[in-house]
Amino acid sequence: MVSITIDGKPVQVEKGSTILAAAQQLDIKIPTLCYHPLLEPYAACRICNVEVTAGIESKLMTACNTQVQEGMEVQTASEAALTARRINLQLLMARAPAAEVVWQMAAEIGIEETPFIMEKPDQKCILCGLCVRACESIVGTAAIGFAHRGIDREVTTPYQIQSDVCITCGACAYFCPTGAITMEDIKGRTVIHQEMTLGPPKAIYIPFMQAVPNVPVINTEACIHFKTGNCGICQQVCEPDAIDYEQEDEYEEIEVGTIVLATGFQTFDPARVAQYGYGRLPNVITSLEFERLSNASGPTGGDIQLEDGTKPGRIGIIHCVGSRDKNTNAYCSKVCCMYSLKIAHLAMEKTGAEVYNFYIDMRTPGKGYEEFYDRLLEEGNHFIRGRVAEVTDWAMIPEEEGKLVIRAEDTLVGMVRRIPVDMVILAVGLEPVHDAEEVRRLFNISCGAEGWFLERHPKLAPVSTFTDGVFLAGVCQGPKDIPDSVAQSGAAAAEALALADRGYVELEPNTAFVLEDDCSGCKTCIALCPFSAISFDGDKEVAVMNEALCKGCGVCVAACPSGSIQQHLFTDEQIYAEIEGVLSYV
């Protein structure tokens, strides 16, 4: 151990520690700019200057990279140290006038201006080299470095062309203290909604706010360690030692008697309606992205901001995006009217903006819903009835300059209107999840034309499916709001428990059966049965019916070329007798 004093306070630190680390042990703050605990110190900014006395000699040293020596006396705020810090900050203010963090640091010690010439007013880079060190030592790619000398010195890629080795991990942007490097998404828009789809994928994240278990997962597609074998910082900093790169997904087989399918939905991708500008125009966002923006735990702490960080003065909400539209989904998504009203209320309350709702029909069935709509009308929300034709940034009059213009037909007054706004929120509809078809096949159930799972009977068996023991809950069966989903889930759980409690299933009375003597063994029926109830007996060379699986749909009966499959209650003799009976009255 080495004994030193800092600002008159004695401290013992491990040999090889820096003055900065020793000061941190005493809770003494030394300002830094080019230092980061995960990177080797580089001592480029010289903001961390301190006065060090060893024996009779005193000199200025940078705390971030100077190792302690026995008996050292350190002054972090001596006149010499503060003067050096002031001059270095003023030099950085001149070098990078647009680096706000430098001006903030200067203001903290009473400096408001610099005597040095500011050659490049927009410059943000202070040449601290954090980005270069991160790219080299953490990412292991060295895609960027320093080029040129003097005033022209800059961070760039070799030959200033797009680097082949850059893996767009964003580590440089993350470490840059001044915002000189930022990540933009593939559409070239500034990333402000990183937790949504607009930003680059994060390598490690908690899947969603209420995830169970609420722990981070690694996205191996985005993780530098899985891409290059380098980095590994999460493992280094994780105190409980919970990061294990060797772990792999495991599959477990669990035997159950009943299954409740609650696979949910996905939101409509509004990029499919190109005329609304999503992904092309700035400040066109989805309703779900607005939810994240307005959430206190969201990327802006609940502040509703435009991409440049300002507040919107006018907001347009377009209802029915991806719903009630023959070009996308013809059905009504049921929840969008009400959540759009909630968004309108929140947007107005939080920003004081004028809010315009563009709707086809206002559908508000539900307890207290119509009253909420009335309240919004009283609050002064604008409602324009008509489908929006397009969202454009093409201005026709001076008031539209720099705005998004919503062009829509107002069917109540019979005219086409152009409404300039700052932000457009697309109320996206609900769709079946992308792998609903796979799930459907797996559980041998049916889907409607739109892809929602089909219940056995809309009124008599609304949570059952055609496969015994498999029940439906929530939006996987069709669009519905949270109260309806909760009610349906309760019904599905009750059905599942009742079946488990009973311990047996009742068969359909109208199952099909095979007349073995007539069966030619053509196997036509086997492929057609949607419930996999028919197999083939290779010894007898005939089809075999499992009547416990058969649902009596009659597909095989109609398809059998030799008429060797019949159905209880619907045998040929019974059908013919019924026809004869009817015809006898003719």
Q: Does 33 bind ligand FES (CB under 6 A)?
A: yes
CA 576/CA 581 separation, integer angstroms: 8
List Cα–Cα distances, 570 to 13, 519, 579, in angstroms.
Answer: 91, 18, 12
Structure tokens at 409: 């037909």
Closest approach of ligand FES to the CB of residue 69, in Å? 18
Encoded one letter per residue, x for contact with ligand SF4 by CB under 6 A and - for no contact, window 102-141 reads -----------------------xxxxxxx--xx---x-x
Closest approach of ligand SF4 to the CB of residue 218, in Å? 17
Among 13, 19, 47, 514, binds ligand FES (CB under 6 A): 47
Residue nearest ligand FES, Cβ-based? 64
CA 328/CA 552 separation, integer angstroms: 35
Beta bridge partners of 543: 536
Which of the choices ligand FES, ligand SF4, none does residue 33 contact, using the CB cut-off of 5 to 8 A by kind? Answer: ligand FES
Structure tokens at 93: 């203010």
Beta bridge partners of 9: 6
Residue 173: strand, helix, or coil: helix
Other beta carbons within 10 Å of 398: 7
The beta-strand segments (E) located in 234-353 are 259-261, 265-267, 284-286, 314-321
Taking contact as CB under 6 A, which single stretch among the options 85-93, 101-109, 161-169, 554-562 is the one that binds ligand SF4?
161-169
**Which H helix or E strand runs over 366?**
none
Q: Does 388 bind ligand FES (CB under 6 A)?
A: no
Closest approach of ligand FES to the CB of residue 54, in Å? 19
Q: Does 89 bind ligand SF4 (CB under 6 A)?
A: no
**Which H helix or E strand runs over 13?**
strand 9-13
Find where tokens 């029926």 sit. Answer: 525
Among 41, 170, 386, 432, binds ligand SF4 (CB under 6 A): 170
CA 533/CA 386 separation, integer angstroms: 51
The CA dihedral of 430, 436, 437, 441, to the nearest 10 degrees, is -150
Which of the choices ligand SF4, ligand FES, none does residue 48 contact, using the CB cut-off of 5 to 8 A by kind? Answer: ligand FES
Q: Does 470 bind ligand FES (CB under 6 A)?
A: no
Closest approach of ligand SF4 to the CB of residue 139, in Å? 5
CA angle, residues 262, 433, 369, in degrees to nearest 5: 70
Taking contact as CB under 6 A, which single stretch among the options 39-47, 195-203, 234-242, 320-328 is the one that binds ligand FES?
39-47
Which of the choices ligand FES, ligand SF4, none does residue 155 contact, using the CB cut-off of 5 to 8 A by kind? Answer: ligand SF4
Nearest-10 crossing angle of helices 287-294, 336-351: 40
Amino acid at 110: G
Judged by CB, which is closer to ligand FES: 39, or 234? 39
Cβ proximity of 398 and 374 under 8 Å: no
Closest approach of ligand SF4 to the CB of residue 127, in Å? 5
Q: Does 34 bind ligand FES (CB under 6 A)?
A: yes
Closest approach of ligand FES to the CB of residue 84, in Å? 11
Residues in 173-232 that interact with ligand SF4 by CB under 6 A:
175-176, 178, 180-181
Which of the choices ligand FES, ligand SF4, none does residue 172 contact, using the CB cut-off of 5 to 8 A by kind? Answer: ligand SF4
**Sheet arrangement for strand 314-321:** 284-286, 423-428, 314-321, 354-359, 382-385
Among 44, 77, 147, 191, binds ligand FES (CB under 6 A): 44
Closest approach of ligand SF4 to the CB of residue 361, in Å? 48
Which of the choices ligand FES, ligand SF4, none does residue 170 contact, using the CB cut-off of 5 to 8 A by kind? Answer: ligand SF4
Residue 67: strand, helix, or coil: strand
CB burial of residue 344 (10 Å; 0-12, 13-18, 19+): buried
Encoded one letter per residue, x for contact with ligand FES by CB under 6 A and - for no contact, window 227-266 reads ----------------------------------------
Closest approach of ligand FES to the CB of residue 56, in Å? 26
Q: Does 48 bind ligand FES (CB under 6 A)?
A: yes
Find where tokens 């201006």 sit. Answer: 113
CA 288/CA 283 separation, integer angstroms: 14
Judged by CB, which is closer to ligand FES: 33, or 519? 33
Size of the residue set binding ligand FES (CB under 6 A) = 12
Q: Does 169 bind ligand SF4 (CB under 6 A)?
A: yes
Q: What is the DSSP string of 537-565?
A: ETTTTEEEE-TTT-----HHHHH-TT--E
CB burial of residue 366 (10 Å; 0-12, 13-18, 19+): middle
Q: Does 439 bind ligand SF4 (CB under 6 A)?
A: no
Which of the choices ligand FES, ligand SF4, none does residue 180 contact, using the CB cut-off of 5 to 8 A by kind? Answer: ligand SF4
Judged by CB, which is closer to ligand SF4: 139, or 565? 139
Binding residues vs ligand FES (CB under 6 A): 32-35, 43-48, 62, 64
